[in-house]
Amino acid sequence: MKFDHIDTPAALIDIPRMQKNIARMQAHMNTLGVAFRPHVKTTKCIDVVRAQIAAGARGITVSTLKEAEAFFAAGVSDILYAVSIVPSKLPRALALRRQGCDLKLVVDNPTAAAAVAAFSDQHGETFEVWIEVDTDGHRSGITPEQDTLLEVGRILHENGVTVGGVMTHAGSSYELHTPQALTALAEQERAGCVRAAQRLRDAGIPCPAVSVGSTPTALAAAQLDGVTEVRAGVYVFFDLVMHNVGVCALEDIALSVLATVIGHQADKGWAILDAGWMAMSRDRGTSKQAHDFGYGQPCLLNGTPLAGYVVSGANQEHGILSSAEEGVQADDIAERFPIGMKLRILPNHACATGAQFPEYHAVSADGESVEWRRFQGW
């Protein structure tokens, strides 16, 4: 690995690991016979998305209109904006469609559906809208048996808006940690979304797409009858939260933060790193899981995890590396981690950590790296 020229802290992508993760997910989707629409909110990076498309992805999912605008400008046209639309955002959506972007919107309530219908009519533009379904109670969406589902479908369909399908995200999968529980939730997610589609169709409302997904349920799904496509985001890098969920090994995690040892408090067993929470993010997703990784898992430059050590604390630009065992102090901390030593820190949550950086350093198998830009904001 040739990292001498990279100032720290820096976000590294291990390209071989990333390609393995992409291939694994795509192969599973191919086996299940569904299309795959990666969620690009994890990376906000066209270089990563090109690798996902090259592996077989069809279209992308975005979490912001800025992502839609940036990826459309980079040549991706089939885009699902997977956050319920509000009237104030319709002009930007209209501008994208008028430029030729195949942008699909999402709603989960009659007010937003009526607003899209009125706006479509006013501007003579036929929007395509997918209806968000709630299959696990963790956030947004209409549950499959609610009357509101048909009400929303009718408002759209009867007012000339194309109902493109239904979509759901079983985000509560992040709270699970056994294959059995994940497979059961994947089936719940599938069955609920298929049921919602069936109710719409039975009411005479077309519903071509049935879209489900989260990284854990996508990987755990045993069958996806009735589903047309799957969405997942964080699988492309994985992270320590996903490791605790049980869907990846530490050695699969493709994102790490390159950091330098800048000091010690030897009497406390601390080495001080130049990667604090500004680099790692404030995400402490593993704090509620079986294995709490603090602010991250230190590894050698070759990617080997340093068992027994953790980034136990963080200020804005300072991280504290110490023994991972509570009450145990690392006596040889200054010898083991001398000033100037570089380490790679695996993050709790790749979406949050990546967002702290304006660029990734993408590292090939031969140790050479190139800069891949990512963007920020809305």
Q: Which residues contact its own copies by CB under 8 A?
A: 4, 7-10, 41, 63-65, 83-89, 92, 108-109, 111-112, 115, 134, 137, 139-140, 171, 260-265, 268, 272, 274, 277-279, 281-284, 315-318, 320, 338-340, 349, 351-352, 355-359, 376-378
> What is the nearest approach in angstroms of its own copies to the Cβ of residue 65?
8
Helix (H, G, I), strand (E, B) or coil at 238: coil
> What is the nearest approach in angstroms of its own copies to the Cβ of residue 112?
6
The answer to whether residues 322 and 293 touch, using CB atoms and an 8 Å cutoff, is no
> What is the nearest approach in angstroms of its own copies to the Cβ of residue 241?
12
> For residues 112 and 176, which CB has a smaller minimum distance to its own copies in the complex?
112
Helices 65-73 and 90-98 pack at an angle, to 10 degrees, of 10
Strands (E), 108-204: 128-133, 162-168
> For residues 9 and 164, which CB has a smaller minimum distance to its own copies in the complex?
9
> For residues 139 and 291, which CB has a smaller minimum distance to its own copies in the complex?
139
> What is the nearest approach in angstroms of its own copies to the Cβ of residue 301?
14
> For residues 79 and 115, which CB has a smaller minimum distance to its own copies in the complex?
115
> For residues 30 and 315, which CB has a smaller minimum distance to its own copies in the complex?
315
> What is the nearest approach in angstroms of its own copies to the Cβ of residue 272?
5
Pairing between β-strand 229-230 and β-strand 255-265 as defined by DSSP bridges: unpaired
> For residues 9 and 144, which CB has a smaller minimum distance to its own copies in the complex?
9
* Stated length of the chain: 378
**What is d(CA 255, CA 331) in angstroms, rounded to the nearest whole number?**
30
> For residues 235 and 277, which CB has a smaller minimum distance to its own copies in the complex?
277
Helix (H, G, I), strand (E, B) or coil at 60: strand
> What is the nearest approach in angstroms of its own copies to the Cβ of residue 13?
16
Sheet containing strand 35-36, edge to edge, reads 35-36, 229-230, 209-212, 162-168, 128-133, 102-107, 78-81, 60-62
Determine how many CB atoms are found less than 10 A away from the CB of residue 268.
11
> What is the nearest approach in angstroms of its own copies to the Cβ of residue 24?
23
> In Å, how far are 75, 217, 235 from 174, measured between CA atoms?
32, 9, 12
